[in-house]
Structure 1
Amino acid sequence: MKNLKILDSTLREGEQYPGVRFTSQDKIHLLRLLEEFSVDLVEVGHPGISPEDEQICKEVAGKAHKAEILMHARAVSSEIQAVSRAKAHWVGIWASINPVSLASKFRGRTRHEVKDQVASAVEEAKRLGLQVRFTIEDASRTSWEDLCYLGKAAVDAGADRISLADTTGIWEPVTCANVVKKAIKELHPDIEIHLHNDLGLALANALTAIDAGATVVDTSILGIGERTGIVDLLQLAVLLHEKRDCRKFPLEQIPGLSQSVQWITGFRPEPLKPVTGKNAFTHTSRYHVQAVGKDSRSYEPYPPVRVGRSRTVLPQRARLGVPVFPYNLKIGKPFEKGASELKYHRNGPGTRWVLMDNRVDPRSTLYVIQRFFNDNPPENHVDLHTHHCDSVFLFWGDTPDGTGLICSVQVGNEEKVVHSPVSVFIPAGVAHAYCYIAGRGTYTNIVLAPEYNQSLEEPFRPAKPDRDMV
């Protein structure tokens, strides 16, 4: 365990999550959080993809203070030179020679030609002063003979570390551990592991690989990545703390890491996700609630405060709802409501209507309120608050083109006066508020939760300003 290093690949693997592309500013922000979390190596991207990617990688590498920087490259001279120009410490070269890879990625080349290409690439990287991690891609579907054939060629050419990639996430823990042990004995003492989560076994495989002697484990924040992602850095850090007595990581920083990735990518972890999921520390069963009230260890493997979270106890059982099936058309009836039922709200100007929530239709998964203003006196009637889900503000004046309403909106540390028509998206976890200033029209608030108060993050913690923005 003392020699174990964690490599975080959020900035590279994370860009393989659909729709995600990180700016250099966002990568630098995440790099600083990862360094503060005691991550040893950070994989910042693939500079050989384009001049723009090379520039971004170079900017990010220049901001590293503690972590070693690794960049991706195919076994191609131009891509290795791009890594060198971008000032990485490590280059991650990869290839595979199993039948699937030869047929789909190296068409027209034999395993011997691929092996020679890898050896030449490693030698060039070493001449450029780079440390080399060579990854045997799709190792979990590659015969041991081919693993040794390709791995030894890379080691003989000067590779500093061999990485085994479970590219399709098919390994089981016992198999993963056996291959790691064999690779340490026959290939190289420094073995890295890259594990995908297609069968939900990435974290289990990581733990057995560590126990088998792997020296580096690849991770990403929230496990974000290609398809079902890879090992979740935050879950692994907690697992090592709880099961392997590893005190390396400041676990109380986990909410900040999770929230940053959610804001940047739009990815939202499922509520049942361990450590970071909304319901990870929520108790609802009457018997559980009673027991937790006496001793939280009754139904918690570790206290939520350890990972910067708080416990939620729901004292009342959910009401018996209406049948969902067969699904039928239900015509809901909006109703007028004051602000007294909403935390952080006062009645203030205008008239408020609940258009949709679990009272209008018990099947609803969202909350929609609409407020009508009619040249009311201005008043500050909403305090800063946050939701654990995304929400939207919509301002629409009473004219055909939507003009005519003036309000003030605060999101995070920024406040602006807005003139309708205006739409404001508010990501989960970001503090926000608004107030009416003048004019006539409607304000609509859509919250992606069926009940407003249960969507609030409690206790409320205002977002910290970004150091780069202060």
Structure 2
Amino acid sequence: MRLKILDSTLREGEQQSGVRFHSQDKIHLLRLLEEFQVDIVEVGHPGISAEDEQVCKEVASASRRAETLMHARAISEEVQAVHRAGADWIGIWASINPISLTAKFGDKSPAQIKDRVAYAIEEAKKLGLQVRFTIEDASRTSWEDLFYLGKAAVGAGADRISLADTIGIWTPNECGETVKRAVEEIHSDIEVHLHNDLGLATANALAAIDAGASVIDTSILGIGERTGIVDLLQLAVILKEKIGFQHFPLERIPELSHAVQWTTGFRPDHLRPIVGKNAFTHTSRYHVQAVQKEAHTYEMFPPEQVGRKRKVIGERPQLDSPVLSTALRVGSPFEKGASELKYHRNGPGTRWVLMDHRVDSRSTLYAIQRTFEDNEPENHVDRHTHDCDSVFVFWGDRPDGTGLICCVQMEGEEQVVHSPASIFIPAGIEHAYYYVSGKGTYTNIVLAPEYNQSLRS
């Protein structure tokens, strides 16, 4: 059986702190996942509320290719909610180890949990749903209990058994051994849901594949509860590079990454494999010299394969004052024309650098302010993109902030903006602005200490 990928961004992703997806955003992400050739998309947990059920229904009805799965506890009301929402699969879950019985099931016995699970699975099958049954906290459950509950679920009609490392404590050896035994003794397709609390989720996924797992759960950028789960984008590249799995259009990775960053506000760190800012950046003098002759010297594969570009930085940063000092420092803003910036010309008005690494070497942001005094209109900024978020603030010279008119371009849209106005520009979005008329100030804050290095070439 071909390995399948189940993506849980739309369900597990909502368990990341502060994340809640609008139905239209879920549909947009569903489309991207389908274009990325993901097999199964877990769209949500309709039993939580009527609102969640409606969102799940809208998303499931929008599916064109991928199968849809919805989460449910082993109770009739939630099984019915999944059926009403129109899923292909239901993901019923329960746990049977001592800590779960005490903390979550009111000290019910394993036999009572088994009976509840069997009833829910039988009800789901009568409704025409395919059933994945997940043994939650499998990594802290004895093999005897895993076998007991897994065999009962298969006997009740479950189509697949999922083993969840709910708190992310498995090592690859432990994961592989458990999956191998489940494949051999439970006699079912085995899925794994692997959390990343120890940073081993992806390694465990590879061990599970080697041991015979049929389905791996992922999310875009690995978002999810606590430290998240297996990152779809990393796993897709690993499968191609190490196993020859040609299933995914890897050049679409930046599009998936940007979409999740925009909708969640989550920004992966610069060292994140594949999508991080520094993933294809070379700075060491000897690395730069070698890469310029033969890129393969320090790259496993060309960055274009995953929709990225190589960046070579030939100069080391200047040695400055210590940055670990917490002493109060008062910086000195300075006047500087915009021609020091790529995609910018000096333009109308007077431009001041308020904060960057030159004002204070500890700075993690860049801020400028430009003053306009009824200048001649001029298009002085070309469209460009940052790999970090930024903000425009327009403030006129009148007491209420009115009096300044500029034009802002963002992706395919252009709009005349009357002050006072503030515009948030997410990372990865092409944008520009130009002065039209009036008096006032334009402030630009970029969440990077060096403007040009934040640009996407």
Shared fold (TM-score, shorter chain, > 0.5) = yes
Q: Give the structure 2 partner of residue 424 of structure 1.
A: 423
Deviation at 1:250, TM superposition (A): 0.7
Partner of 1:406, secondary structure, is strand
Partner of 2:320, secondary structure, is coil
Deviation at 1:316, TM superposition (A): 0.8
Q: Give the structure 2 partner of residue 37 of structure 1.
A: 36
Deviation at 1:121, TM superposition (A): 0.4
Rounded to whole Å, the distance in 1 between the matches of 2:411 and 2:106 is: 52
Partner of 1:354, secondary structure, is strand
Task: Write out per-residue CA displacement over residues 71-103 of structure 1, whole angstroms, 9 at most, x where no aligned residue.
Answer: 000001011101101111100000001111111
Rounded to whole Å, the distance in 1 between the matches of 2:236 and 2:411 is: 29
Deviation at 1:34, TM superposition (A): 0.7
Q: Give the structure 1 partner of residue 438 of structure 2.
A: 439
Rounded to whole Å, the distance in 2 between the matches of 1:108 and 1:160 is: 28
Letter in 1 for 2:189: D
Deviation at 1:62, TM superposition (A): 0.9
Task: Write out per-residue CA displacement over residues 328-381 of structure 1, whole angstroms, 9 at most, x where no aligned residue.
Answer: 111111100111111111122110000001111111111000000111111111
The question of whether the paired residues in 1 share the 8 Å contact of 2:159 and 2:188 is answered with no
Deviation at 1:108, TM superposition (A): 3.8
Rounded to whole Å, the distance in 2 between the matches of 1:88 and 1:325 is: 53
Q: Give the structure 1 partner of residue 62 of structure 2.
A: 63
Q: Give the structure 2 partner of residue 467 of structure 1.
A: none
Rounded to whole Å, the distance in 1 between the matches of 2:376 and 2:187 is: 75
Deviation at 1:433, TM superposition (A): 0.9
Q: Give the structure 2 partner of residue 152 of structure 1.
A: 151
Rounded to whole Å, the distance in 2 between the matches of 1:47 and 1:189 is: 26
Letter in 1 for 2:262: W
The question of whether the paired residues in 2 share the 8 Å contact of 1:354 and 1:370 is answered with yes
Q: Give the structure 2 partner of residue 388 of structure 1.
A: 387
Q: Give the structure 2 partner of residue 188 of structure 1.
A: 187
Task: Write out per-residue CA displacement over residues 46-93 of structure 1, whole angstroms, 9 at most, x where no aligned residue.
Answer: 111111111111111111111111000000101110110111110000
Deviation at 1:402, TM superposition (A): 1.1
Rounded to whole Å, the distance in 2 between the matches of 1:338 and 1:283 is: 29
Deviation at 1:270, TM superposition (A): 0.6
The question of whether the paired residues in 2 share the 8 Å contact of 1:374 and 1:439 is answered with yes
The question of whether the paired residues in 2 share the 8 Å contact of 1:161 and 1:188 is answered with no
Rounded to whole Å, the distance in 2 between the matches of 1:259 and 1:306 is: 17
Task: Write out per-residue CA displacement over residues 101-120 of structure 1, whole angstroms, 9 at most, x where no aligned residue.
Answer: 11111114222111111110
Deviation at 1:403, TM superposition (A): 1.3
The question of whether the paired residues in 2 share the 8 Å contact of 1:162 and 1:188 is answered with no
The question of whether the paired residues in 2 share the 8 Å contact of 1:384 and 1:432 is answered with yes
TM alignment of 1:52-451, pairs within 5 A: 52-451=51-450
Rounded to whole Å, the distance in 2 between the matches of 1:399 and 1:63 is: 49
Rounded to whole Å, the distance in 2 between the matches of 1:188 and 1:18 is: 37
The question of whether the paired residues in 1 share the 8 Å contact of 2:154 and 2:188 is answered with no
Q: Give the structure 2 partner of residue 461 of structure 1.
A: none
Partner of 2:155, secondary structure, is helix
Q: Give the structure 2 partner of residue 463 of structure 1.
A: none
The question of whether the paired residues in 1 share the 8 Å contact of 2:194 and 2:204 is answered with yes
Letter in 1 for 2:437: A
Letter in 2 for 1:4: L
The question of whether the paired residues in 2 share the 8 Å contact of 1:135 and 1:164 is answered with yes
Letter in 1 for 2:223: I
The question of whether the paired residues in 1 share the 8 Å contact of 2:406 and 2:418 is answered with yes
Letter in 1 for 2:69: L
The question of whether the paired residues in 2 share the 8 Å contact of 1:284 and 1:316 is answered with yes
Unaligned runs of 5+ in 2: none
Rounded to whole Å, the distance in 2 between the matches of 1:287 and 1:380 is: 41
Rounded to whole Å, the distance in 2 between the matches of 1:215 and 1:321 is: 54
Rounded to whole Å, the distance in 2 between the matches of 1:298 and 1:319 is: 27
The question of whether the paired residues in 2 share the 8 Å contact of 1:73 and 1:92 is answered with yes
The question of whether the paired residues in 1 share the 8 Å contact of 2:323 and 2:361 is answered with no
Partner of 2:62, secondary structure, is coil
Deviation at 1:188, TM superposition (A): 2.6
Deviation at 1:325, TM superposition (A): 3.5
Partner of 2:42, secondary structure, is strand
Normalised by the length of structure 2, the TM-score is 0.99
Partner of 1:377, secondary structure, is coil
Rounded to whole Å, the distance in 1 between the matches of 2:99 and 2:378 is: 67
Task: Write out per-residue CA displacement over residues 242-275 of structure 1, whole angstroms, 9 at most, x where no aligned residue.
Answer: 1001111111111111111111111111100000
The question of whether the paired residues in 2 share the 8 Å contact of 1:370 and 1:442 is answered with yes
Letter in 2 for 1:272: L
Task: Write out per-residue CA displacement over residues 275-334 of structure 1, whole angstroms, 9 at most, x where no aligned residue.
Answer: 010100000000100111111111111111111111000011121121124321111111
Deviation at 1:400, TM superposition (A): 1.9
Rounded to whole Å, the distance in 2 between the matches of 1:456 and 1:253 is: 20
Deviation at 1:455, TM superposition (A): 0.8
The question of whether the paired residues in 1 share the 8 Å contact of 2:408 and 2:432 is answered with yes
Partner of 1:263, secondary structure, is helix
Q: Give the structure 2 partner of residue 454 of structure 1.
A: 453
Partner of 1:389, secondary structure, is coil
Rounded to whole Å, the distance in 1 between the matches of 2:78 and 2:205 is: 29
Q: How many residues align?
A: 457
Rounded to whole Å, the distance in 2 between the matches of 1:112 and 1:312 is: 59
Q: Give the structure 2 partner of residue 47 of structure 1.
A: 46
Letter in 2 for 1:52: E
Q: CA 1:9–1:363 in structure 2 vs 1: closer, same or farther (change >3 Å)?
A: same
Rounded to whole Å, the distance in 2 between the matches of 1:181 and 1:108 is: 31
Normalised by the length of structure 1, the TM-score is 0.96
Letter in 2 for 1:76: I
Partner of 1:254, secondary structure, is helix
Partner of 1:84, secondary structure, is helix
Rounded to whole Å, the distance in 2 between the matches of 1:58 and 1:94 is: 20
Rounded to whole Å, the distance in 2 between the matches of 1:276 and 1:321 is: 30
Partner of 2:346, secondary structure, is coil
Q: CA 1:262–1:325 in structure 2 vs 1: closer, same or farther (change >3 Å)?
A: closer
Unaligned runs of 5+ in 1: 459-470
Deviation at 1:406, TM superposition (A): 1.1
Partner of 2:258, secondary structure, is helix
Runs of 4+ in structure 1 deviating by more than 6 angstroms, as ranges, are none
